[in-house]
Amino acid sequence: MLARFRRRFGVVAGIVTLSLSLSATGLAQEVIRISTYRALFGKNAEISKVTDAEITGVYAGMKGLKWVKFYYDPVSGERGSLTVWENREALDSYMKSEARKGILEKLRPLIDGEVTSRVFVVYSPGSGTPPVPGTPGS
């Protein structure tokens, strides 16, 4: 009876340890955020000025931000940014921050609709196996 308990306890402890390891790995992985919005007609130049003069400076001091690039399509008016973050926690902190609210306040009068985002876990070939779908951080 005691041996049976030990085996079951060992299996449960192993599963819990594996789950916690996967969770920690997911949290420690870099993430990419792709944000997209559409400029109001005739506002591309003004958005570029706001980006250059103000938004870039806000991003420069952001904890956990590793890299940022901005993009735009002058024909369609689609614009946005691609950011790389140390981990999901750093991105989540930014998404809830006053700094992000300030950026949105500056952009809202210049854009059509809302800013949308997609977030992905970074996977670099040769750095190990990609995250398992359905686990935290994937």
pLDDT at 8: 53
Residue 53 lies in a domain: yes
Q: Domain range spanning residue 107?
A: 28-121
Q: Could you tell me if residue 50 is inside a domain? A: yes
What pLDDT, in 10s, does the model give residues 19-45? Answer: 333 344 445 799 999 999 999 999 999
Please state the domain count of the chain. 1
Rounded mean pLDDT of 1-5? 54
The answer to the question of residue 137 being in a domain is no
Residue 5 lies in a domain: no
As a whole number of angstroms, the distance between CA 40 and CA 51 comes to: 15
CATH code (residue 57): 3.30.70.100
- Closest C-alpha among 74, 84, 81, 88 to residue 103: 81
Instruction: Give residue-wise pLDDT tens across range 42-84.
Output: 999 999 999 998 898 888 888 999 999 999 998 999 999 999 9
What distance in Å separates the CA atoms of residue 73 and residue 23, rounded to the nearest whole number?
Answer: 38
14-22 — which CB contacts under 8 Å span 24+ positions?
A: 22/132, 22/135, 22/136, 22/137
